[in-house]
Amino acid sequence: MTATSPKRVTISDVARRAGVSPSAVSHAFNGRPNVSETTAARIRAAADELNWRPNYASRKVSGQGGRSLGLVIARSRDTFGRDPFFMRLLAGLTEPLADLGWSLSLTLVQADEEEQVYRQWWGEQRVDAFLLVDVRHDDPRLPLVEQLGAPAVLLGAPVDDAVPAVTVADESAFATVLEHLGGLGHRRVARVTDAPGLAHTRARDQRFSHAGAQQGIATSFAAWDPTADDPVAELLARLGGVTAIVVDSESIAAQIVAHAPEVGVQVPAQLSVVAWEDSWVSSLVRPRLTALDAPVEESARTAVALLERLVRGEAAESQTVSGRRLVVRDSTAPAPRSPSQHHRDPDRDSEEAP
């Protein structure tokens, strides 16, 4: 019944109730050794009774900053919404942040407003650090956060020494995939990508080619074209003699296995499909997707730890988390005997490896 509506309770109220000075309360709540345990207990009791907690804004004003992480996602509602990775990321960030007493400020922006939002949030001191996702080649956000002096960590391959990265160890991922596919008799495998601008794309392309070369598997590339009338049909038509694909996005892989039979391609009988990234969606579609699971939650936890260090002014080095693993389900099977493709003539739209 303590009506808190008229006036919010402040540190002085707590001090008065505990019979001490405001600074004593501050000391007690900041773990300073300047206050006896007995008075500290009395102070905590008073604060509890009054339901008081140090005002977040006030402590920031007085220099005790650093409790809010900004996550700015430059995606359309649609491409955000259909990427289960983000759900895992958000859920994964939340726990380590809570452990630190941080909160997460989230927003979606259009690409052309992106820098503006970083500037604004940092300028307003609304956030104390940024987590960068979907890092593109020559991403303007890297020089930007440096210029602003904002602590930042990126998810993905390291790009710039000034911005530490949390990377999922991928060196052997393609080797594992191609080993799996090779063992099933596949000799021509394509990598399907959708977002060519992303910074990690090139590195992955190279690793893919490299792993193929090592295992005697011919590798090629195909771009997903979301603007096509029927992107799946369009993609499949371009595949040439390829008998297996590794798709850089789980939701695209899911669309492919769901729709392929309807355009005359049986998965996995005629075409094997592997998804890069895993989530509940992979076990939802039929055939269930063979997928490369990534330790998203651990990446999130690592990123938060790095960020926290940066905010405290310590140096932070890029980190690698391992744990990517191939989850074999039903979308991969032995290669078809005849390498002839699916009711379509050879196409040379798919380029060879660099």
Partner DNA sequence: TTGTAGGCGTTATCAC
Partner DNA sequence: GTGATAACGCCTACAA
Specify the residue, 43 or 93, whose C-beta has the smaller distance to DNA.
43
Q: Which does 33 bind (CB under 5 to 8 A by kind): its own copies, DNA, none?
A: DNA
Amino acid, res. 12: S
In angstroms, what is the minimal distance from the CB of 150 to its own copies? Answer: 10
Cross-strand pairs, 68: 103
In angstroms, what is the minimal distance from the CB of 68 to DNA? Answer: 15
Place of tokens 């809010």: 68
Phi first, then psi: give them for residue 14, nearest 5 degrees: -65, -45
Q: How far apart are CA 190 and CA 351, in angstroms?
A: 10
CB 29 within 8 A of CB 47: yes
Q: Does 27 bind DNA (CB under 7 A)?
A: yes
Q: How far apart are CA 304 and CA 320, in angstroms?
A: 14
Q: How far apart are CA 84 and CA 78, in angstroms?
A: 12
Q: Which does 118 bind (CB under 5 to 8 A by kind): its own copies, DNA, none?
A: none
Q: Following CA atoms 200, 168, 171, 212 in sequence, which dihedral angle do they give, to the nearest 10 degrees?
A: -60
User: What residues numbered 6-25 form the site for its own copies, per CB under 8 A?
Assistant: 8
User: In this structure, what token pair is assigned to residue 289?
Assistant: 């997707």
Q: Which does 254 bind (CB under 5 to 8 A by kind): DNA, its own copies, none?
A: its own copies
Q: Does 285 bind its own copies (CB under 8 A)?
A: yes
Among positions 16, 55, 87, 105, the unique one binding DNA when judged by CB under 7 A? 55
Q: Which does 4 bind (CB under 5 to 8 A by kind): DNA, its own copies, none?
A: its own copies
C-alpha distance from residue 115 to each of 112, 118, 120 (Å): 7, 5, 9
Specify the residue, 37 or 78, whose C-beta has the smaller distance to DNA.
37
Phi first, then psi: give them for residue 316, nearest 5 degrees: -140, 130
Q: How far apart are CA 28 and CA 1, in angstroms?
A: 27
Among positions 4, 12, 120, 322, the unique one binding DNA when judged by CB under 7 A? 12
C-alpha distance from residue 78 to each of 40, 108, 112 (Å): 51, 11, 17
Among positions 4, 45, 49, 61, the unique one binding DNA when judged by CB under 7 A? 61
Among positions 17, 26, 222, 246, the unique one binding DNA when judged by CB under 7 A? 26
Q: Does 206 bind DNA (CB under 7 A)?
A: no
Q: How far apart are CA 72 and CA 84, in angstroms?
A: 17
Give contact residues for DNA (rule: CB under 7 A).
7-8, 10-12, 19-27, 29-30, 32-36, 38-39, 52-55, 58-59, 61-64
Task: Give me the residues that bind its own copies (CB under 8 A), please.
Answer: 3-5, 8, 51-58, 60-61, 65, 67-68, 77-78, 80-82, 84, 86-88, 90-92, 94-95, 97-98, 103-109, 117, 119-121, 123-126, 147-149, 251, 254-255, 258, 279-281, 284-286, 297
